[in-house]
Structure 1
């Protein structure tokens, strides 16, 4: 397995910020062929005359590393200094895998960097006296309601700094192929009206995409314009931006940077992230740095300095937070961090925002006191990788222009020396939870065995006691400790330097797990859940043209009980059919929580979770192996799942597809091996032990023919 394959399989979708979904790669096959640097456009300031262009070389070095080792197929970067573009370039691949110089006008989805646009839009309304961010959201959205009276305490500020207490994200039918269906945001208020909060509003900041969808609605209600129109009139036109658009705008889709999958497909259909406030904006690296000038107060005619200063305040310090000073996360208003490490080590204030859709990834870093910004956008990869690479490029730029004198070397680590552990630390043993799972922590001989964390960015290893109430990982890169926080919960705290070969390193500090109280349940309830143990449930209401089908694990819930039987998938069992979120973790591992609600219809068990409906695997039958058969899409859902029987394995399937209908075929490892909407083909060879999902409009009939290959 190549390093590119390994990183893409294990870390390309690490869920560190926004969406990072694991995309499979065939064993031994890398995502992209090695890429040599392309020629980039570049203008050096006069102060650099006579100097070698070290920043340009560093930028292209980072692009090469991202494309060779981190699953990137197209990358674009830009630096703006004092309002002037001083660096712009990048590389892309054509359908044959050949390197090409990228066009500066190639558009990328910027994912959650879109949150900076909706935050700025709301702050523009603040400047006009139309919005007060410390007023309840209901002041501006009176139809916003929840099944939790605390919702009335949620202010506009809490949406911007991620402290609203919302469960996190409604992703259903959000990221679609050539489809700008807005049903997700249209149904958001209805979905939220049935939900509770996971914490008191303002208690702590933890990433919450839905908050920025609510900001989008606020901007529309208060301004009287559609959100896309607002961006065009209040941002793009004044700044002269031609490539900053949303999926609802009319523009030439051929301008979008192609997105690709390894081994299976060439160019995929256009990716529409129809959650505009959360992650739906398209842009270019150059235009991102132009917009950054607004965010750091250089365009007071668009956004006042008072508003930009407010956005740059360390909002995360107002609630429960990891007691670390060096961290990739430290929320402002909209910003992921307003004091990004390692820039503080050089006495420089840096703000950053990263973004991920499924196929696009972005990073924006701004230095407000120096009026310097860098943007790095990619197809493939991860915003974490982009932020790390952009940091390395920007440090080189600062050194080249004598803003810093030297670049600190990457940290080195030594194997820890174990010390005698105080017996009192044994009190922290017990059952813990993170989103989606529970875990029992035991301390034996001063050691704690921990599984891989951060989607394998941190390997499974032992943590040994090294004094000062802390445990150090075997590789010396991570520190584990237990914190009893002011909200009454006990957390496992992790601090780690993550090293990404050839692009740099990042400091992360986060709460990974929350200790749980015992939750005894009676025998009948325990028996009901025991029957579900290990069963999988499959989403039936995700449109067939959704990008989520690339990674079907996202559309599957597998039931995992803890040993005590009181918790399941990180939720607390209430009765035979209901379990509620048990996780109240600040920072990253507390995001996107859910409840589990089961029901039965016509003898079939269904699960409601995270806004989707899932059907039990027991209701998934085998595909008819006859030569001719028909699959009818039910009125109750968008898709139907089938197991591929051995009698059909190896046969060629041909499907007569109505308009907008389609299918995806998976092998036994859940790798997609046929995707009609992507390939444009209505045929596929059926693998042994695989699954197939058909989708279309309610009541449509899909005629299927099977024949020997």
Structure 2
């Protein structure tokens, strides 16, 4: 006989399914809201090229409207259903945060005790790691470099634990800042929650979440990618019109969950009802309240960003789109390759929206716009606010005379985690900002004509909704941006970059400048192989890592074999930094970023015409070979092989035995071979 609790959950699920089956077209009291949501979804599909969108509106403990748009499978012309799953990316962090708070409620952990009390193998190169607490995982203040992305996205199940890899990687990493000093987005903290749950409960993270969250809430269409999903159970993702394989996002705690708006609606209901849904309690009221406390009030955060006012798990607990109309909102968004999602909860007003979508440029920002429009219209329809707000149309503000000191202080170089900017003073006492383009090795103009206005910010006549300020605090200078965002009826502020001075280039690093390195230790079907190239760029006295076009400046003064991360930026633009470490491997200088290894491109063995053999070494590193630009090559014995042109753009890929024509472009081609250690691969080059 099933226990009474299971019977109650089953009955509740049946009632819920019967309810939503008839509410996708209309619902009393929300006609205008549904029309607004449909318009928002269709407009966003047009703007982003999304292949499908799915959403749900929640009022109290009811899903009052759910609907899907587009196609889950373009080949079969199949529309998504209410049970079609999407990878929700970082919205998964809410489940991880709930899991931690569940452990708190059970008395198994304390938020403010050191993490190493529970994960005894946790350590880092910085001795201050001992001060990292459980709370710091949830509010992004641990000081971790950011994210170990090696092996994070694959197209087959990963045969080992990704979270265990992250735990091992952190042993060689140093902290970016003192634990608790500031909150800056960090995936690794939430990935470690998997290890925390296992250490405390003896269960895998996926098992614990299933037993303690999904099953009690009747979340029957939520699961982690432990294996292949049945065809048709999830929305396919497309790059333009090209279908992509199922995404295995292996960082379950920080981003790997597949779910539906209907399932995530139950999470939203739990928050609206202070920890329970119906008779099923997931969290205590105290834990729900603690998750909604703004954590950035207690740490370094000189400019308030309402979009990044972190709670415990939440991106923000003062959601600015709702805040602009006097309503409190909590939000979490998620982005992963070709999927985006957002969940917004208005706890005091009993409303919530969940939005998910797939393909092309659809992301959490797109989902947020849809969710804000739905909630704002619902608030107006319920009479909570007077009317639906309209997007801002800001006038140009009056000029104010800037002093020479103000202008001279602003001039200089500023860096974020992926961009380097240069601020210059022009003859008319305006400021201009350029960004360094690694592809062209030149500065590209971004915005010009910035003049001081009566609000003591710099803006131009063309974009009055975007303004800049330059502040100095804690012996550092920052450039901040005020910008129109979301649905467009409000502005927000964010710290965009930190002022930096060129540290100079020691001879050891100068000799490496301009050289290229290629990925060596990624799992064989990782999506990282799409962009295997890494360069060290130098310009204007700076050294920067160039991966995928993004530039991270590093400080080579640490020594001849280590260039250190050098930015201290709260919120989001200081995320995902790495030290650059030189490893001597096979008698060569290889580069290590986090746990990712890159080998020098210049020493790759050139393949000769005819037959040859390649053996994968004991480390399991991928083997590269340089080929002529024309001809063909056949491969026997590789698990996965990939062919690139001279610019390292992927031209062909295959699994097992195969052959391919060479790209006939540039001066060379490159072949990379992946297989288990000890595998002998035979190649035959025909010219």
Q: How high is the TM-score relative to the length of structure 1? A: 0.84
- Distance, in Å, in 2 between the alignment partners of 1:453 and 1:130 is 50
Q: How does 1:11-410 map to 2 (within 5 A)?
A: 42=24, 44-48=26-30, 53-93=31-71, 96=74, 100-248=78-226, 252=230, 254-262=232-240, 265-266=242-243, 268-300=244-276, 301-324=281-304, 327-380=306-359, 381-410=362-391
- Distance, in Å, in 2 between the alignment partners of 1:66 and 1:269 is 24
- Distance, in Å, in 2 between the alignment partners of 1:286 and 1:348 is 24
Secondary structure of 1:104's match? coil
- Distance, in Å, in 1 between the alignment partners of 2:270 and 2:319 is 19
Structure 1 runs not aligned, ≥5 long: 1-38
Change (3 A) 1:667 1:403: farther
Change (3 A) 1:638 1:270: farther
Deviation at 1:193, TM superposition (A): 1.5
| Equivalent residue for 1:694, pick from 664, 673, 676 | 673
| Equivalent residue for 1:461, pick from 443, 447, 468 | 447
Structure 2 runs not aligned, ≥5 long: 1-20, 439-443, 546-551
Secondary structure of 1:497's match? strand
- Distance, in Å, in 2 between the alignment partners of 1:565 and 1:252 is 50
- Distance, in Å, in 1 between the alignment partners of 2:84 and 2:288 is 28
2:72 touches 2:235 (CA, 8 Å); kept in 1? no
Q: Does 1:610 align with 2:594?
A: yes
Corresponding residue of 2:555: 572
- Distance, in Å, in 2 between the alignment partners of 1:217 and 1:676 is 34
1:43 touches 1:85 (CA, 8 Å); kept in 2? no
- Distance, in Å, in 2 between the alignment partners of 1:672 and 1:466 is 47
Deviation at 1:462, TM superposition (A): 1.4
- Distance, in Å, in 2 between the alignment partners of 1:208 and 1:449 is 31
Corresponding residue of 1:594: 578
2:579 touches 2:594 (CA, 8 Å); kept in 1? yes
Query: 1:298-318: per-residue Cα shift (whole Å, max 9, x none)?
Result: 444210111111101111121
- Distance, in Å, in 2 between the alignment partners of 1:681 and 1:64 is 44
Say which is worse superposed, 560-569 or 225-234, in terms of deviation.
560-569
- Distance, in Å, in 2 between the alignment partners of 1:180 and 1:307 is 33
Change (3 A) 1:423 1:120: same
Change (3 A) 1:384 1:657: farther
Change (3 A) 1:330 1:652: same
| Equivalent residue for 1:675, pick from 653, 656, 681 | 653
- Distance, in Å, in 2 between the alignment partners of 1:657 and 1:259 is 30
Q: Does 1:545 align with 2:528?
A: no
Corresponding residue of 1:495: 482
Q: Does 1:441 align with 2:423?
A: yes
Q: Does 1:411 align with 2:411?
A: no
- Distance, in Å, in 2 between the alignment partners of 1:509 and 1:46 is 38
Change (3 A) 1:645 1:329: same
Change (3 A) 1:498 1:644: farther
| Equivalent residue for 1:584, pick from 526, 550, 568 | 568
- Distance, in Å, in 1 between the alignment partners of 2:582 and 2:489 is 43
Deviation at 1:641, TM superposition (A): 3.4
| Equivalent residue for 1:515, pick from 494, 499, 502 | 499
Deviation at 1:567, TM superposition (A): 7.1
Query: 1:385-432: per-residue Cα shift (whole Å, max 9, x none)?
Result: 111222122222322333322122111245566543211121343343
Corresponding residue of 1:558: 535
Change (3 A) 1:127 1:471: same
Say which is worse superposed, 280-289 or 594-603, in terms of deviation.
594-603
CA RMSD after TM alignment: 3.0
Deviation at 1:707, TM superposition (A): 5.8
Change (3 A) 1:158 1:190: same
Change (3 A) 1:509 1:182: farther
Corresponding residue of 2:15: none
Change (3 A) 1:272 1:430: same
1:40 touches 1:89 (CA, 8 Å); kept in 2? no
Deviation at 1:113, TM superposition (A): 0.9
Secondary structure of 1:676's match? strand
Deviation at 1:232, TM superposition (A): 0.9
Query: 1:271-327: per-residue Cα shift (whole Å, max 9, x none)?
Result: 1111111111111011111111223444442101111111011111211225246x3
- Distance, in Å, in 2 between the alignment partners of 1:218 and 1:96 is 40
